[in-house]
Structures are given as C-alpha cells and as structure tokens.
Amino acid sequence: MSKRSLRTTFAPWLRLLAQRRGRLAIGVLLLIVTVFSAVGLLTLSGWFIAASALAGMAMALGMAVAFDVYVPGGGIRFFAVSRTVARYAERLYNHDTVLRLLADLRHRLFVAMARLDDRSLARQRASDWLNRLTADIDTLDGLYLRLLAPPVVALAAIVLLAAFLALWVPMVGLAVAALLVPTWAWLTAGQAWLGMASSRRQVAHLQRLRSQAIEHLTGLAELEAYRSRDWHRQGFFEREEKLSRDQQRTAGVAGFGVALVNLMVGLGMVAALWLAAAAWQQGMISGAVMVMMPIAVLALGEVLALLPTAFTQLGASRGAAERLNEVEEVGQAGQTGQAKVSAGHAQLPTGAFSVRLRGVGLHYPGALVPALQDLDLVLAPGERLALTGASGAGKSSVAALLTRRLPPSQGEILLGDIPIGEVDEASLRERVAILGQRIDLFQDSLASNLRLAAPEATDAQLWQALAWVELADWAEALPHGLATPVGEGGRALSGGQARRLALARLWLRDPGLVILDEPFAGLDAATVARLSPRLDAWLTGRSVLYLVHQLDGGAFDPPGITREQRLQARLAERNQFSDRA
C-alpha cells in the first residue's frame, strides 16, 4: 500500500484538471447559483407563507394591514426559474466538462502506456491494463464533480447563510456556523478516514474479479477439460465475498454520514428556531423572519447530502490514482527496473543499414537466469542472417531489443553505427519493420488494417499488396471489398489469411531493416512455395534478420542465407543464447 500523501497522490491529476481551470471555475459558479437559488427559494417561500398567514390573522381580527404580495411573489418566481435554469445549465456544462476531462485522462494514460516496454507490460495481465484504462479512469474522472466542487460550494453556502442570518440575529448565525462547519469538516476528512481502507480494497477486489471473470470465460474449455471449473469458480466466489464485506462496510460508513447530516441540520434548525423565538419575544425580529430562519437552515441539507458518499469513496479514487501514477512514472521515465529506453533525434540512413550487438545481455525481472548473455552479432548492410533455436532460446528477445521494445541490461546496440538510444522514435518505426508470430489486427476494415503500415496508400496500392500475397481475388469476392470488417482481433479471418494480410502490410513499407519471425507460420507448403520467391525479391537491397526454429528441413528455409551465415546462426544459438525466453 502506498505511503504517499493524498496531496502527492492526486497532484498529477489536479495539475491536469488545472489546464481547464476556466471551465472548472464556470462550473463551480453555476453550481453556486443553483444552490443559492434553491436556498433562496425555500427561505423566501417560508417567509412569504408565514407573513401571509400573519397578515391574514391580523385582518381577521379587524386590524388594518398593508401587505405587498408582488415583490416577494416576484422573488419566489425569480428563484424558481433561476434554480431550474441554473440546474439544467450546471448539469449540462459540468457533465460536458467531465467528458472533456475523461478524454484528457485517457489520452494521458494511453500515452504513458504506449511508452511502456514489453517487460513492463508483461508484469500485468492484459485485463489489468484494460481495467486501468477504463475502470480506474472512470473512478478518477469524478474527482472534480464529486470531491472538489461540492465541498467548496457547501462550505461557501454554510458561511454565507450564517452571515445572512447573523444580520437579523447574530446568535443564530453563530450557532449555525458552530454546528455545521464542524459537520462539514467531518463529512470531508472524517468520512474519508473511516472509509479509506474498505473503499480502496473494494476497487482492488473489483479489478481482480473482472480479471478472474475474463480468465474464466476465455479458459472455460481448458477448465472443463481438466475438471477445474469448480475450483476456479470457488476462488471467484471467495473474492466476491470479500468484495461484499467491503461494500457493506463502505455503505455503512456512507449511511452514517447521511444520518449525521440529517441530525446536525435538524439540530441547526432547532437552535435557529429557539434563538429566533427568543429574539422575536424581545421584539428584535418579526414572526415571519423567525419562521424563515430554521427553514433557511433546512435548505443546507441538500448541499451537505452530496458529501458523505463521495468522501467515503475517497479511498477508491486514491487507489485508482496510485495505480495510474505507477503507469505514468514507468512510462515517463522509461524505467524497467534495470535499464532505460531512451529516444534521441538521430535519423537512420536510407536504404539498408548495418546492425551490431556488442556484449548485449538481457535479464527479465525475477528471472533466475538471463535471457541473453554477452551476445555479439554483426549484420552488414544488405546482408541476411538467420538466428535459429528452440522456443525460449531468446530469438524474440533479440527482435524486441532491435525495435526498442526492450532495453538491454548490458552491452551496446548500434543501428547504422548509431546507438539505438539516440535514434529518433519516428525514424526507428519507419526504417525498421518486424513481422512477428503474433498478428495484431483491429476491429476495422481491411483497408484500415493495411493502412496501419502506410496511411497515405491509395486503394490501388492496397489491391496490389493483396495481390502480392494472393488475397486479391478473395477480397474482391467479399460483399464490401476493402471496406469489409475483419472482426475483433481479425476473428473473421483464418489464421493463414491473417498471416498473409500481415505480409501485405509489410509489403507497403519501405524499411532498411526487416525482422521476420517465422514469416510463413500457419501457411501450407504450396502457398509458401509461391510466396517465398516474391518475398525474396522484395527483400533485395534490405538488411534482413530471420528468426526461425531450424534450418535445412524446417518448415521454412529462408532464401538468401549462405552456408557460412547458417553456421554463424547456429554458433550464435549454441554459444550466446540461454534457455530463458
């Protein structure tokens, strides 16, 4: 559990809110207008009803009474209209502000997450990262509307109403302030203190429950096959029981706060009525003003009622802020525990360029042995080299190092004789292309997925790319052609189609270094035989690094690899790689 103070925890997000301080100030002003219109409506209505009753009683007794109904009646209509208009405007404006803040928060977090390297991402499940981007942000986006604006407006309402009542009877104003200001302090600090631990745990339980639910549904077949479904469900139910206990505690604390509001507002009304009655007996105020004072105190109940639940849940907001701060700190610093991923401004040369690894080591956090140790590798411009080895030998780790998704624990990596840390980010992504075993396709059209590689590509170029991988005829037969959606994660495609679509995306690029990790995995031998010469021709003039399980008799024999290079690859595998993936 973090030892940081509340101020330190929320400081980055408060600074983000401050970027829209103008909108926030207008929102608070609208909230103040809404509250004081409500207080004014109830106060003036109470005075008007009491004054009308007293005037009617006097007239019934035959007394001559002059009573102006138009001014207070107009004031009541004014407050009624202003309350309705102000509440509508406040809700519309403040919720629009919150949606803008939500966009700011998600953009900031997404940028931070995009900076994370593979080791940092691997420390959490994908569902946990999704939870931070959605649930934690949703928890934090109420920071302004629940935790900042309402207590400010409530305190201002208490002080100003106490000052207003003091104009008539000073003791009434003092009594109201003495009762409600400490109540306000407890509803903010006290409720937060009581609910901090349970509300923080509640959010942690919810996060784990979401992850467990996703794991249960995605792994249902395996759980059934190994007769482990009941065991897994039992863990789910135990977590749910813990969540239920914390929810009950949090609800109890919030209920205590609401009861306290009703009690203290009631005591404030009694005190105001008692002191006002004493002043009326002394002839200091009229009977209508005496009735008005406790009714004015009653109006504060609506404002204070917003605070107990919001501040009881402060622990949830704090926990969300702490988790998001962790992402930001790692993303901004680029730290992964042992090394740092940096980005300079050097541009990679045009055409093929060299690759050199000198004494490179890579140790994953918590691993017993390093994934790579003292690795030396030289790839001349335009040369092709194959790294071979069994799964877990470290081939994919080399690819991650060369694309700067991982920082080396030791050693030096040079691209085109430039240290990889000094290469500009845009230049690196443009000049280095990788086709990994995992194909990332988005829930969008064929065209959009292809244009990830070349945003400016025309439809004609997209058709050429599809023809290059023998998918053009298939795409033309689709009902919507290039506009056909591929489904979430490319589920509408077969594994072979997804692999060829990735090859087509690669063809649209013009990199100087190409890293191919089992490029034809999942394709039949006949298709590989037709596509391999095309790939060989496209790779001409580029530096190429193949990552394959084996050569000579393997599923894929990389073209352009000489006997000497094959020997170098095997020696690299035997002498440089460990068994750690």
pLDDT tens for each residue of 84-105? 999 999 999 988 988 888 888 8
Per-residue pLDDT reduced to its tens digit, 168-203: 999 999 999 999 999 999 999 999 999 998 988 888
Position 216 in a domain: yes
CATH number at residue 535: 3.40.50.300
CATH number at residue 305: 1.20.1560.10
Position 339 in a domain: no
- Sorting pLDDT into bands at 50, 70 and 90, what band is 7? confident
Per-residue pLDDT reduced to its tens digit, 223-267: 888 888 888 888 888 888 998 999 999 999 999 999 999 999 999
Q: Can you give the pLDDT at residue 550?
A: 66
Report how many domains make up the chain. 2
Which one-letter DSSP state was computed for residue 409? S
- Sorting pLDDT into bands at 50, 70 and 90, what band is 494? confident
Task: Indicate whether 237 and 306 sit together in one domain.
Answer: yes
Q: Can you give the pLDDT at residue 257?
A: 95
Percent of the chain beyond pLDDT 70?
A: 90
**Can you tell me the mean pLDDT for 443-465?**
90
CA distance linking residue 86 with residue 100, whole number of Å: 21
- Give the residue, 56 or 353, on which the prediction is more confident: 353
Per-residue pLDDT reduced to its tens digit, 279-325: 999 989 988 899 999 999 998 998 899 899 999 989 888 888 888 88
Q: Can you give the pLDDT at residue 547?
A: 86
Give every strand in the sheet of 432-435, ordered side by side: 384-388, 543-548, 513-517, 432-435
Percent of the chain beyond pLDDT 90?
A: 30
Task: Indicate whether 392 and 325 sit together in one domain.
Answer: no
Position 349 in a domain: no
Position 345 in a domain: no
Position 341 in a domain: no
- Sorting pLDDT into bands at 50, 70 and 90, what band is 52? confident
Q: Which domain-ending residue is among 333, 363, 397?
A: 333
CA distance linking residue 314 with residue 331, whole number of Å: 25
Task: Indicate whether 368 and 325 sit together in one domain.
Answer: no
At residue 391, does pLDDT exceed 90?
Answer: no
- Sorting pLDDT into bands at 50, 70 and 90, what band is 574? very low
Q: Which domain-ending residue is among 280, 301, 333?
A: 333
Asked if 117 and 205 touch (Cβ cutoff 8 Å), the reply is no
CA Rg value for the chain: 35
Question: CA–CA distance from 265 to each of 169, 181, 295, 297, 302 (Å)?
Answer: 18, 11, 10, 7, 10
Of 474, 475, 470, residue with least CA distance to 446? 475
444 Cα distance to chain centroid: 22
Q: Can you give the pLDDT at residue 213?
A: 83
Which 3 state secondary structure label does DSSP give 219? coil
Task: Indicate whether 310 and 383 sit together in one domain.
Answer: no
Position 555 in a domain: yes
Which 3 state secondary structure label does DSSP give 336? coil
Task: Indicate whether 317 and 360 sit together in one domain.
Answer: no
Q: Which of 111-120, 345-354, 448-457 has the lowest mean pLDDT?
A: 111-120
- Sorting pLDDT into bands at 50, 70 and 90, what band is 163? very high
Task: Indicate whether 303 and 444 sit together in one domain.
Answer: no
Task: Indicate whether 415 and 305 sit together in one domain.
Answer: no
Task: Indicate whether 328 and 396 sit together in one domain.
Answer: no
Task: Indicate whether 361 and 318 sit together in one domain.
Answer: no
Task: Indicate whether 125 and 261 sit together in one domain.
Answer: yes
- Give the residue, 207 or 318, on which the prediction is more confident: 318
At residue 379, does pLDDT exceed 60?
Answer: yes
Position 465 in a domain: yes
Position 61 in a domain: yes
Q: Can you give the pLDDT at residue 188?
A: 94
Q: Can you give the pLDDT at residue 568?
A: 47
Of 208, 206, 152, 240, residue with least CA distance to 315? 206
Task: Indicate whether 324 and 392 sit together in one domain.
Answer: no
CA distance linking residue 257 with residue 176, whole number of Å: 18
Residue range of the domain that includes 379? 355-576
At residue 407, does pLDDT exceed 90?
Answer: no
- Sorting pLDDT into bands at 50, 70 and 90, what band is 332? low
Average pLDDT, the chain: 84
Task: Indicate whether 401 and 292 sit together in one domain.
Answer: no
Per-residue pLDDT reduced to its tens digit, 255-268: 999 999 999 999 99
- Sorting pLDDT into bands at 50, 70 and 90, what band is 336? very low
